[in-house]
Amino acid sequence: MTEDTTVTRTLDCIGLYCPEPLFQTRESIDSIAVGEVLEVFADDPAAKEDLTRFAKRAGHEVVAVEHEGDQLRILLRRLK
């Protein structure tokens, strides 16, 4: 993660399971400006694959994927 990665919005998907984190991430990334960063917290085991695949398919950048215990923190930069 680079030093200039400022989180614009944080989305808490802890306790939510597929497909809810994906739906909420899609909605949240659409609500921020191009170039801004969405931070997503999730504990669904499928979230890492689902959200990184969504970001790549939608043309967004996966800035970071971090694990802390069973929690996942993903930073996505909106590119278009």
**Host H or E run for residue 34:** none
Residue 1 lies in a domain: no
Could you tell me the CATH number of the domain that includes residue 46? 3.30.110.40
Residue 2 lies in a domain: no
The pLDDT assigned to 17 comes to 93
Residue 60 lies in a domain: yes
The mean pLDDT values, 10 residues at a time, for the chain of 80 residues are 78 96 97 97 95 97 94 96
Closest CA to 76 of 35, 19, 43: 35
The pLDDT assigned to 5 comes to 83
**Residue 70, token pair as written in the block:** 């069973």
Pairing of strands 37-42, 7-13: parallel
Residue 62 lies in a domain: yes
**Host H or E run for residue 10:** strand 7-13
Residue 56 lies in a domain: yes
**Residue 59, token pair as written in the block:** 């043309």
Beta-carbon contacts of 4 under 8 Å, excluding residues fewer than 6 positions away, are none
Quote the domain boundaries for residue 48.
7-77
* Number of domains into which the chain is organized: 1
Kindly list the catalytic residues: 18
